[in-house]
């Protein structure tokens, strides 16, 4: 847990890059070149990226350097994008062989908004196949290493984005969170990860996994940078029928998290923080509990009021999610048949082309989810599994509604353990699913969450804590995380690379 000063421009925060560009200290070309150099030096051992398009990024940077800076929020700043979001003209695989060679003809709205604000997409980051996983080991293109210890996983499924940010290859990267895939890798890599409210950011151009759960989020060095990316990419999109029509507040991080009128830096006066007893359970790593509790104490010393809350249906989240997500996935993945996208396995009949392509190109986990999902949705089982799970989902969402009538945010560990060793769950999908126990409920309820580092375990691996907020209150959790980061240094610690 050493704070290694890395002199490269690529280690600056997004906010620092913005300020430096504005002052003319460096150009966008310098920033893009620094990112490309860092990638060339470090990515061979990390494998955070599936694609890097240096020529395109440098050309865009050269163009940015000709434009007036003041007009654009993210002017000339390099970012990375998880390979489940489309960028026109850049290959998009979703970590799957079934999309090998697919070049999307359009750009995801979330990415497009960042580009319109001046951001430069430098490449696509590694992901578990179709974002199914918690370790990035399910990528058909090989796993990503955790920069803190290469034998460990960076978390998943947005593991490539998390590794790229903590290794300071890019200041921020987009991820997606269907059951924890932004928060969990943020926690395993010691960075800040924002999961947005369902419907807050357009899903147009996001390769669908579980359509009622999928959200686009951001991985960044700190809450301030995450807030900037969030405020640019959020908002209604006519191209996504589930995107919400609510307005996006401009986020003023200097305001007190809940009530207005800032007094001092890091002030949490008046914030009611709920601590759910169901998230501190036997069997979890003791150090994770301990550091989370210490962080909650620190929030208290900043003026927050700590209140015990109960989310009594938490124990159902895991089985509910692992019925609903595969059910939705089985429907969403039906479109990959060797005809519409990607490679095709040749066979004599149309049906055989479908069977062969799907049989050969989907990986083990995607196949497992398709089978579970198809089973749960089949006539005769639908009521017993899918219908039941939907009802339990409602109870989980109501738990949060009830809790948020008394508190402004809920504080809990992000994961039960720190980053595990690669291969540890290779033969045990259930053990892998258990890693998601604390992140899934927020997706089932559609609420936002932010994970940020609160310490290290005895092995030097980062520990993360999450703050969950009511629907559409990203502003509250961002301000609270920012206040914590004003008085702590965990978020500036980087691995020795």
Tokens of 477: 């959790």
Q: Which of residues 321-380 bind ligand GLN (CB under 6 A)?
A: 325
CB of 86 to ligand GLN, least distance (A): 17
Longest dimension (CA), the chain: 73
Strand order in the sheet with 409-413: 49-52, 120-125, 78-82, 172-176, 216-220, 192-195, 449-456, 462-468, 409-413, 272-276, 305-309
Element containing residue 122 per DSSP (H, E): strand 120-125
- List 181, 187, 243, 330, catalytic entry: 181
User: DSSP H helical segments within 266-387, as ranges?
Assistant: 286-301, 317-332, 350-361, 364-377
CA–CA separation, 425 and 207 (whole Å): 26
| Nearest distance from C-beta of residue 24 to ligand GLN, angstroms | 40
Smaller CB separation from ligand GLN, 18 or 183: 183
**Phi then psi for 235, rounded to 5 degrees?**
125, 165
- The nearer residue to ligand GLN, 437 or 454, going by C-beta atoms, is 437
Q: Please tell me the count of residues contacting ligand GLN according to CB under 6 A.
A: 14
Q: Which one from 11, 18, 82, 135 is the annotated catalytic residue? A: 82
Among 133, 274, 363, 469, binds ligand GLN (CB under 6 A): 133
One of 125, 134, 332, 414 touching ligand GLN (CB under 6 A): 134
- Spatial contact of 320 and 389, defined as CB atoms under 8 Å apart: yes
Distance CA 68, CA 86 (A): 28
Q: How far is the CB of 195 from ligand GLN (least distance, A)?
A: 9
Q: Are 397 and 446 in contact (CB under 8 A)?
A: yes
Q: Which is nearer to ligand GLN, 193 or 274 (CB)?
A: 193
| The token pair that represents 394 in the structure block | 């409602």
- For residue 361, indicate whether it is catalytic: no
- β-pairing verdict for 462-468 and 409-413: antiparallel
Q: Of the listed pieces 170-178, 282-290, 294-302, 415-423, which binds ligand GLN according to CB under 6 A?
A: 170-178
CB nearer ligand GLN, residue 76 or residue 179:
179
* Cβ at position 476, least distance to ligand GLN in Å: 22
d(CA 12, CA 9): 6
Helix (H, G, I), strand (E, B) or coil at 168: coil
Smallest gap from Cβ 262 to ligand GLN, in A, equals 34
Should residue 178 be labelled a site residue for ligand GLN when binding is judged by CB under 6 A?
Answer: yes
Token pair 């895991």 in the structure block, residue: 318
Nearest to 147 by CA among 230, 247, 42, 50: 42
Q: Which stretch binds ligand GLN (CB under 6 A): 25-33, 131-139, 384-392, 415-423?
A: 131-139
CB of 207 to ligand GLN, least distance (A): 11
Q: Which of 28, 96, 139, 157 is catalytic?
A: 157
| HSE (side-chain half, CA atoms, 13 Å) at 98 | 27
When binding is defined by CB under 6 A, the residue of 177, 224, 225, 474 that contacts ligand GLN is 177
Contact status: 96 vs ligand GLN (CB under 6 A):
no
| Closer residue to ligand GLN (CB): 36 or 422 | 422
Interface stretch with ligand GLN, choices 174-182, 372-380, 453-461, 475-483 (CB under 6 A) = 174-182
Q: Of the candidates 93, 181, 222, 466, which one interacts with ligand GLN according to CB under 6 A?
A: 181
Asked if 60 touches ligand GLN (CB under 6 A), the answer is no
Backbone Cα Rg of the chain: 21
* Minimum distance of ligand GLN from residue 157's CB (angstroms): 4
DSSP letter (8 states) at residue 79: E
Which residues between 413 and 452 bind ligand GLN (CB under 6 A)? 436
Active site residue 181: yes
- 217: which 2 tokens? 């989020």
Nearer to ligand GLN (CB atom), residue 78 or residue 205:
205
Nearest distance in Å: CB 132, ligand GLN = 5
The DSSP bridge partners found for residue 176 are: 216
- Cα–Cα distance, 112 to 233 (Å, whole number): 8
Stretch that binds ligand GLN, among 64-72, 115-123, 129-137, 390-398 (CB under 6 A): 129-137
DSSP state of 387: I
**Least separation in angstroms between CB 368 and ligand GLN:** 10
- State the virtual CA torsion across 24, 28, 29, 31 in degrees, nearest 10: 100
Applying CB under 6 A, which of residues 93, 109, 126, 157 lies at the interface with ligand GLN? 157
The whole-angstrom separation of Cα 232 and Cα 216 is 13
Residues 6+ apart with CB under 8 A from 380: none
Q: One symbol per residue from 201 to 220: x for binding ligand GLN (CB under 6 A), - otherwise; what is it?
A: --------x-----------
- Enumerate binding residues for ligand GLN (CB under 6 A): 131-134, 157, 176-181, 209, 325, 436
Active-site positions? 82, 157, 181
């Amino acid at each position: 847990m050493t704070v290694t000063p890395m002199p490269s421009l690529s280690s600056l925060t997004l906010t620092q890059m913005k300020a430096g560009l504005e002052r003319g200290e460096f150009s966008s070309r310098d920033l893009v070149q620094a990112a490309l150099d860092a990638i060339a030096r470090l990515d061979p051992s990390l494998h955070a990226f599936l694609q890097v398009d240096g020529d395109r990024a440098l050309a865009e940077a050269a163009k940015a350097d000709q434009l007036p800076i003041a007009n654009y929020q993210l002017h000339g700043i390099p970012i990375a994008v998880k390979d489940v979001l489309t960028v026109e003209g850049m290959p998009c695989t979703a970590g799957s062989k079934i999309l090998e060679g697919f070049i999307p003809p359009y750009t995801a709205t979330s990415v497009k908004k960042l580009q319109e604000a001046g951001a430069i997409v430098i490449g696509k980051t590694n992901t578990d196949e179709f974002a199914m996983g918690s370790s990035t080991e399910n990528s058909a293109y090989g796993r990503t290493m955790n920069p803190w210890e290469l034998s460990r996983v960076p978390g998943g499924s947005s593991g490539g984005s998390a590794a790229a940010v903590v290794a300071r290859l890019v200041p921020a990267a987009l991820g997606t969170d269907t059951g924890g895939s932004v928060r969990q890798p943020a926690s395993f890599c010691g960075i800040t990860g924002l999961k947005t409210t369902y419907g807050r950011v357009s899903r147009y151009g996001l390769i669908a996994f579980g359509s009622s759960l999928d959200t686009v989020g951001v991985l960044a060095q700190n809450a301030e940078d995450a807030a900037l990316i969030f405020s640019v990419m959020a908002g209604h999109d006519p191209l996504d029928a589930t995107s919400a029509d609510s307005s996006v507040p401009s986020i003023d991080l200097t305001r007190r998290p809940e009530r207005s009128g800032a007094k001092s830096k890091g002030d949490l006066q008046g914030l009611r923080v709920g601590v759910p007893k169901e998230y501190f359970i036997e069997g979890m790593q003791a150090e994770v509990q301990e550091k989370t509790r210490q962080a909650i104490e620190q929030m208290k010393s900043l003026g927050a009021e700590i209140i015990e809350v109960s989310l009594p249906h938490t124990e159902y989240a895991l089985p509910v999610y692992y019925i609903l997500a595969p059910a939705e996935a089985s429907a969403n993945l039906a479109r990959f048949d060797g005809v519409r996208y990607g490679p095709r396995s040749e066979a004599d009949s149309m049906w055989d082309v479908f069977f062969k392509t799907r049989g050969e190109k989907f990986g083990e986990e995607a196949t497992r989810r398709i089978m579970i999902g198809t089973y749960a949705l089949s006539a005769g089982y639908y009521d017993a599994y899918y219908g039941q799970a939907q009802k339990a989902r409602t109870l989980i969402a109501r738990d949060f509604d009830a809790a948020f009538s008394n508190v402004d945010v809920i504080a809990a560990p992000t994961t039960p353990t720190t980053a595990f060793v690669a291969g540890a769950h290779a033969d045990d999908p259930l053990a892998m699913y258990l890693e998601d126990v604390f992140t899934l409920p927020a997706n089932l309820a559609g609420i936002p969450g932010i994970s940020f580092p609160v310490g290290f375990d005895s092995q030097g691996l980062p520990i993360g804590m999450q703050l969950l907020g009511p629907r559409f209150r990203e502003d509250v959790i961002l301000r609270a995380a920012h206040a914590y980061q004003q008085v702590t240094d965990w978020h500036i610690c980087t691995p020795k690379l």
